[in-house]
């Protein structure tokens, strides 16, 4: 067992345990915080995959923005009586079963992919992945279009969210 | 021995399924969105793992992941705005109580 | 020329339609159209007659023309016209008599007189009250159905022309039947009188019996020879074939059977015994009708047909025997009845039957030309006599209206002394009567009757000769009886005293016909006649005889028939005058024997033997039983059954199955399923999501197994 594998295992356990707690804990605020933990773990994973930029972006965007947003909204929609009583539906076993089934299926599927046991190859020398990512995102030969569309999507989301959440001042 | 690709993929699958469980079984609408976030992250792990293990010179994997980030952010923003709006109207965030479009 | 012949029957037909459709309301217009049409046809007939007479050997070069009419498998039934010597002379007298009678009808139906006070269409006119110089008098009134009369007689004229001009049996039969129809319409002209209606039906039915047999004969002929055209039938080889062919009926040859069947048609149409019963009753019609249809033309058509078919009928000796027998028997039979009749028209009716018997007897003894001759002369003098009797009746009716005495204007015993009151009528009637009796030399009747006697005697048919001689004696006798009672002596009633001569439209035709009744005989004087023979050629014999394939031989002259005919004619006239100049009323008339007066009770015999059983069958069997019980019963049964079936369907199938089960049931099922299925729409998002993931998993599993496993 190499060091990488140990790091991977620990990170994996962290992620999964955090995720489980996200979906099972009755207190919503705790769930949001456990989400932060899970997201951290994912950032670490990105780092092990040598996608450095993505790791940083993960922390900044997901944790810094999205998770905070979640916390805000949880605060805004708190009611005293809300977090008493069950937080999962009464028929939680159906989704559990489904989840397990799908997991089993996916695992089977994954294991049947040819070359799934391959190990990582050395990055080509001279590859500046950030630069390459940046140029790929704005290059007309590459992914400028999805990039632009994503921008517009963000704009639309911004406008929509603001509009929907605006208080009607009556 | 390094980490085989399958480990990443199985991890992602597990995360995905946990997220799915959360979406389908939590009562609170915000908790549902938390589950959705987990699922999106699982997808991202998949994408980046594939990028790294197959052809790291080609940036399409990372680019895809970046786009997914953007989409996830947008979706969370709008979704939470909706939840706030619904909360203001109907004083509830429980998904089961938002059932006006029924028979 | 051939083309012109087609147009001859048309003017009266057009007149019929025009009067019926357009001019029914206008009396003067109607009679003008009718007379115009008759005049046109008369003109055309004269033209053709003159042309025909002018041709040499006309019999060999006749005018003929025909068109195909109805297809019958390989052959065609045809309509055609033909003018040969026989039809030329017949056309001559038909044209003259028709025109004369048309003109006479104007006066007969009192044209120019006022409308009657109580006259209704369908009854004879009763007279109108006219105020003249302060006092009222009853005058004859105009016939209400004036136009209708002229329409019908125009149609009749069309029928007669068609018959005379036809070149085949089919066209002849068409004309025959049209005349039968007109006879019915005109006998029943005054349809308000029950006696007229009954007489019309009787005439139609009786002639129908004859017509059916005639049609059978025509059909047989057509099937045996494939043709109905005279020129084709009378070819020697066709006639021989018909004579040689045998039929299972009475051992007759085909020619004989056909001839017999056709002759039965004549028995009906020309009122020979035993189908004579309709003619006396037909006197219910107006007198012009009696004159035209029942004296001059329609009954002559029967004889004309036999003369036409002579080459065929004369083949078989059996048929000829039947013909001769019927003819001579009828001649005597009718003459005996005529002596006991008191009605002026009935005497003439029986006289007609008798004279037709003469002609048919003549044909039965192969006297072709004699029969044709008598046909022509009889038409003239019988029409004259009938028109004269009509004139007498009119004069008497004038007297009746004038005096208010209600006597039968037609009964001869109410007349008398009319010679002074109605001179023109008297003299023309006398000429006609003398012609009928066969007064020597001066009258046409003498020449034609004499020729019949000569032929009968000369060919050795002594039985026929004797019977005809007896009939001729009786003919002269009753004719003189009639003239004596009507015109001579003193008036026996006040009505007769006040009788008056009739108008010119009635007397002029009398005069015209009288001329022919006298003059026409001189074209047929036999060559060997003592004294007069040879002065004028026997044109008639040559001309008409030319119709046959071979000119019939003129019979050798013999004194016996001549003496006989002179004797019976003069003797009968003298005895008649002698007996009846003293008779004042029917009680003194010794010949009023019930048997004769009641026409040998033939009407009663037919009534009980044939008519009443027929009525019984019609009423009880067919009407009550068959029609009501069987046919109506089955219809009602079907109706009831259908109703039952309908109800059963409705109540046991339609309502429970279709209405409730299918109709309402479907609705209820849909409603219930909808009710239960709507719970899927819970409105809860997670519910939907769980459902979709479940389905997704299932599909994924299926897909996996389908792709990899099976």
Check A105 against C694: CB less than 8 A apart.
no
* pLDDT category of residue A87 using cuts at 50, 70 and 90: confident
Torsion angle (degrees, nearest 10) of CA C255, C259, C262, C268: -160
Q: How confident is the model at residue C618 (pLDDT cuts 50, 70, 90)?
A: confident
- Last residue within a domain, chosen from A49, A83, A117: A83
A60 falls within a domain: yes
3-state SS class at C50: helix
**Chain A contact set for B99 (CB, 8 A):** none
ipTM for the whole predicted complex goes beyond 0.85: yes
Place of tokens 């969105």: B33
| Residues A1, A79 share a domain | yes
Which of residues A23, A53, A83 is at a domain's end? A83
CA distance B99 to chain A (A): 15
Contacts of A70 in chain B (CB under 8 A): 30, 33-34, 76, 80
The partner residue sitting opposite A95, judged by closest CB among C690, C700, C704, is C690
| Cα C143 to Cα C125: distance, rounded to the nearest angstrom | 6
Whole-number pLDDT of residue C234: 84
Structure-model confidence comparison of residues A79 and C215, the more confident one: C215
Residue where a domain terminates, one of A57, A83, A109: A83
Identify the three-state secondary structure at position C546. Answer: coil
Q: Report d(CA C369, CA C362) in Å as an integer.
A: 9
Whether residue A137 lies inside any domain: the answer is yes
Are A70 and A40 a contacting pair, CB within 8 Å? no
- Which residues of C have a CB under 8 Å from any CB of A? 686, 690, 693-694, 697, 700-701, 704
- Distance in angstroms (rounded) separating the CA atoms of residues C580 and C477: 10
Residue A92, domain member (yes or no): no
Instruction: Give the CA distances from residue B28 to residues A164, B31, C23, C172, in Å, rounded to whole numbers and listed in that order.
Output: 19, 5, 108, 116
pLDDT (average), residues C675-694: 83
- A70 and A134 share a domain? no
Domain coverage including residue A141 = 128-170
Residue A85 pLDDT > 70: no
Same domain, A5 and A69: yes
DSSP for C573-624 reads HHHHHHHHTS--SGGG-TT--HHHHTGGGHHHHHIIIIIHHHHHIIIIIIII
**Residue C311, both tokens:** 């080459």
CATH topology of domain B28-91: Helix Hairpins (1.10.287)
> In degrees rounded to 5, what are phi and psi of residue C536?
-110, 135
- Higher pLDDT residue, C447 or C629? C447
Confidence of residue C456 (pLDDT cuts 50, 70, 90): confident
Residue owning tokens 């009906």: C268
Residues C289 and C277: their CA atoms lie apart, in Å, by 17
DSSP track, C109-148: TTTTSPBPSS--TTS----EEEEETTEEEEE--B-TTHHH
Answer whether C443's CB lies under 8 Å from C399's CB.
no
- Say which CATH number the domain at A7 has: 1.20.120.1200
Asked if pLDDT for residue C3 goes beyond 80, the answer is: no
Nearest to B101 among C683, C686, C693 (CB): C683
pLDDT of residue A82: 59
DSSP A113: S
User: What residues are paired with C81 via a beta bridge?
Assistant: C65, C166
The size of the A-C interface in CB pairs under 8 A is 17
pLDDT by residue (tens digit) across C302-313? 999 999 999 888
Tokens of C382: 């019988």
Q: Are C492 and C413 in contact (CB under 8 A)?
A: yes
**Sign of the C-alpha dihedral computed for residues C135, C138, C142 and C143 taken in this order:** positive
Q: Which of A89, A91, A102 sits opposite C697 (nearest CB)?
A: A102
Q: Provide the percentage of residues in chain C whose pLDDT is more than 90.
A: 27
| CA pair distance A25, A23, nearest whole angstrom | 6
Contact check, Cβ <8 Å, A86/B67: no
In three-state secondary structure terms, C83 is strand
Cβ within 8 Å, pair B34-A35: yes
- B vs C, Cβ pairs < 8 A, gives 31
How far is residue C228's CA from residue C397's CA, in Å, rounded to a whole number? 49
Q: For C475-517, what is each residue's pLDDT tens digit?
A: 999 999 899 888 888 888 877 777 778 888 888 898 999 998 8
User: Mean per-residue pLDDT for A68-90?
Assistant: 77
Residue B90 near residue A82, CB atoms below 8 Å:
no
Average pLDDT, chain C: 85
Return the SS3 of C81.
strand
Helix (H) or strand (E) holding A73, with range, is helix A68-76
Question: Is residue A133 located within the same domain as residue A64?
Answer: no
Alpha-carbon distances of C660 from C656, C664, C666, C672, C702, rounded to whole Å: 5, 5, 9, 16, 43
């Amino acid at each position: 067992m190499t060091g990488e594998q140990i790091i991977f295992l620990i990170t994996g356990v962290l992620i999964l345990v955090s995720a489980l707690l996200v979906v099972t804990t009755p207190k919503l605020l705790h769930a949001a915080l456990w989400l932060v933990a899970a997201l951290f773990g994912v950032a670490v994973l990105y780092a092990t995959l040598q996608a450095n930029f993505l790791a940083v972006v993960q922390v900044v965007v997901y944790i810094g923005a999205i998770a905070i947003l979640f916390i805000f909204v949880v605060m805004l929609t708190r009611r005293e009586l809300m977090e008493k009583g069950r937080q999962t539906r009464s028929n939680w076993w159906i989704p559990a079963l489904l989840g397990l089934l799908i997991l089993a299926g996916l695992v089977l599927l994954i294991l049947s992919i040819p070359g799934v046991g391959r190990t990582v190859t050395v990055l080509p020398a001279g590859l500046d992945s950030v630069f390459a990512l940046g140029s790929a995102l704005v290059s007309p030969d590459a992914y400028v279009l999805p990039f632009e569309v994503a921008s517009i999507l963000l704009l639309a989301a911004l406008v929509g969210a603001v509009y929907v959440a605006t208080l009607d001042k009556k | 021995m390094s980490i085989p690709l399958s480990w990443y993929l199985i991890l992602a699958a597990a995360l995905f399924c946990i997220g799915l469980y959360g979406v389908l079984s939590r009562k609170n609408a915000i908790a549902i969105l938390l589950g959705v976030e987990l699922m999106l992250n699982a997808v991202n792990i998949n994408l980046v793992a594939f990028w790294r293990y197959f052809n790291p010179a080609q940036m399409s994997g990372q680019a895809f992941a970046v786009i997914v980030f953007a989409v996830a952010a947008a979706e969370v923003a709008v979704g939470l705005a909706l939840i706030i709006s619904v909360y203001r109207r109907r004083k509830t965030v429980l998904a089961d109580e938002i059932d006006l479009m029924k028979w | 020329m051939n083309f012109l012949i087609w147009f001859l029957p048309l003017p009266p037909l057009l007149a019929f339609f025009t009067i019926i459709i357009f001019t029914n309301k206008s009396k003067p217009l109607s009679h003008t159209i009718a007379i115009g049409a008759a005049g046109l046809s008369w003109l055309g007939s004269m033209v053709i007659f003159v042309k025909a007479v002018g041709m040499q050997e006309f019999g060999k070069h006749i005018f003929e023309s025909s068109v195909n009419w109805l297809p019958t498998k390989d052959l065609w039934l045809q309509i055609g016209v033909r003018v040969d010597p026989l039809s030329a002379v017949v056309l001559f007298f038909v044209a003259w008599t028709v025109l004369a009678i048309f003109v006479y009808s104007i006066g007969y139906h009192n044209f120019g007189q006022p409308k009657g006070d109580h006259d209704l269409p369908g009854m004879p006119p009763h007279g109108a009250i006219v105020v003249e110089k302060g006092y009222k008098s009853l005058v004859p009134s105009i016939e209400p159905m004036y136009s209708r009369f002229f329409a019908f007689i125009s149609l009749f004229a069309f029928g007669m022309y068609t018959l005379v001009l036809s070149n085949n049996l089919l066209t002849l039969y068409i004309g025959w039947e049209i005349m039968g129809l007109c006879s019915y319409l005109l006998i029943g002209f005054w349809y308000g009188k029950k006696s007229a209606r009954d007489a019309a039906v009787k005439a139609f039915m009786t002639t129908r019996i004859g017509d059916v047999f005639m049609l059978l004969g025509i059909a047989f002929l057509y099937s045996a020879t494939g043709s109905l055209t005279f020129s084709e039938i009378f070819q020697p080889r066709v006639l021989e074939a018909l004579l040689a062919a045998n039929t299972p009926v009475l051992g007759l040859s085909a020619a004989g059977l056909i001839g017999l069947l056709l002759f039965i048609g004549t028995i009906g149409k020309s009122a020979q015994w035993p189908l004579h019963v309709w003619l006396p009753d037909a006197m219910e019609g107006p007198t012009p009708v009696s004159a035209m249809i029942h004296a001059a033309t329609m009954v002559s058509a029967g004889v004309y047909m036999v003369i036409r078919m002579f080459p065929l009928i004369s083949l078989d000796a059996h048929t000829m025997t039947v013909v001769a027998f019927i003819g001579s028997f009828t001649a005597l039979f009718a003459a005996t009845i005529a002596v006991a009749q008191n009605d002026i028209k009935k005497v003439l009716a029986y006289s007609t039957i008798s004279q037709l018997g003469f002609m048919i007897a003549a044909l039965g003894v192969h006297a072709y030309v004699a029969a044709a001759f008598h046909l022509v002369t009889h038409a003239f003098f019988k029409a004259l006599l009938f028109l004269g009797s009509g004139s007498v009746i009119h004069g008497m009716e004038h007297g009746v209206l004038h005096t208010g005495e209600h006597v039968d204007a037609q009964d001869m015993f109410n007349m008398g002394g009319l010679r002074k009151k109605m001179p023109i009528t008297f003299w023309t009637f006398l000429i006609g009567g003398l012609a009928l009796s066969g007064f020597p030399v001066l009258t046409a009747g003498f020449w034609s009757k004499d020729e019949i006697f000569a032929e009968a005697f000369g060919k050795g048919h002594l039985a026929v000769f004797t019977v005809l001689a007896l009939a001729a004696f009786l003919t002269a006798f009753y004719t003189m009886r009639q003239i004596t009672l009507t015109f001579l002596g003193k008036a026996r009633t006040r009505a007769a005293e006040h009788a008056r001569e009739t108008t010119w439209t009635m007397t002029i035709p009398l005069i015209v016909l009288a001329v022919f009744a006298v003059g026409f005989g001189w074209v047929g004087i036999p060559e060997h006649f003592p004294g007069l023979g040879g002065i004028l050629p026997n044109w008639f014999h040559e001309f008409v005889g030319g119709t046959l394939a071979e000119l019939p031989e003129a019979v050798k002259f013999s004194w016996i028939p001549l003496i006989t005919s002179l004797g019976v004619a003069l003797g009968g006239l003298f005895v008649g005058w002698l007996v009846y100049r003293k008779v004042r009323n029917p009680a003194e008339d010794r010949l009023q024997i019930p048997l004769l007066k009641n026409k040998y009770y033939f009407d009663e015999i037919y009534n009980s033997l044939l008519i009443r059983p027929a009525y019984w069958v019609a009423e009880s069997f067919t009407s009550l039983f068959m029609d009501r019980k069987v046919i109506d019963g089955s219809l009602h049964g079907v109706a009831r059954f259908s109703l039952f079936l309908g109800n059963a369907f409705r109540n046991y199938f339609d309502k429970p199955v279709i209405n409730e089960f299918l109709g309402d049931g479907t609705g209820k099922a849909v409603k219930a399923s909808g009710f239960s299925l709507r719970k899927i729409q819970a409105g809860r998002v997670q519910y939907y999501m769980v459902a979709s993931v479940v389905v997704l998993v299932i599909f994924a599993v299926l897909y996996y197994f389908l792709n990899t496993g099976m």
